[in-house]
Amino acid sequence: MPVETRDQALIRTLIERWAEAVHRGDLEGVAADHADDIVMYDVPPPYEGLRGLEAYLKVWPPFFRWQAQGASFAIESLEVTAGEDIAFAYALLRCGTEEDLRRDPANRLRLTLGLRRQDGRWVVAHEHHSFPYVARGGQSG
């Protein structure tokens, strides 16, 4: 692995802290480094995605309630590519209840982030969350 640049390290820390805030159910921590105009493709619909920080923040309380059953939300791998003012990152996370992970131990939440530097600090402008689609005898895209 090449040595991380300062910006890669900053973004890695930002994403690790965000994931810890998600796991704590800390909405303020989740929002701390997110742009007002964030566009999120969440695991569930809406099909067209969620636009704006207000819509983004409404996603989390129901997730926190589900997580309170004892679900994990833990980064397993994270790769960051950072330029001068724009960056992207992708990660795999263990995300599920103990039962979910017993039933399907290899399943991972896939996460892709787009970031920009704004007023001297990195903010998340795009988030794409998904689980792979396991076809039941059909085809998928």
Among 66, 74, 99, 103, binds a copy of itself (CB under 8 A): 66
Q: How far is the CB of 129 from a copy of itself (least distance, A)?
A: 7
**Looking only at residues 2 through 21 of this chain, which bind a copy of itself when binding is defined by CB under 8 A?**
none
Among 5, 9, 13, 43, binds a copy of itself (CB under 8 A): 43
Residues 6+ apart with CB under 8 A from 33: 14, 17, 18, 121, 122, 123, 124
119 binds a copy of itself per the rule CB under 8 A: no
39 binds a copy of itself per the rule CB under 8 A: yes
Phi-psi region of 120 (alpha: psi -120 to 50; beta: other; left: phi over 0): left
* 48: phi then psi, degrees, rounded to nearest 5: -85, 0
84 binds a copy of itself per the rule CB under 8 A: yes
Reduced to 3 states (helix: H, G, I; strand: E, B; else coil), residue 5 is coil
Reduced to 3 states (helix: H, G, I; strand: E, B; else coil), residue 20 is helix
What is the spatial distance between Cα 56 and Cα 53, in angstroms, rounded to a whole number? 5
- Tell me how many residues contact a copy of itself (CB under 8 A): 48
Question: What is the binding site for a copy of itself (CB under 8 A)?
Answer: 39, 41-49, 62-63, 66, 73, 79, 81-88, 90, 92, 95-96, 106-110, 112, 114, 116, 125-126, 128-135, 139-141
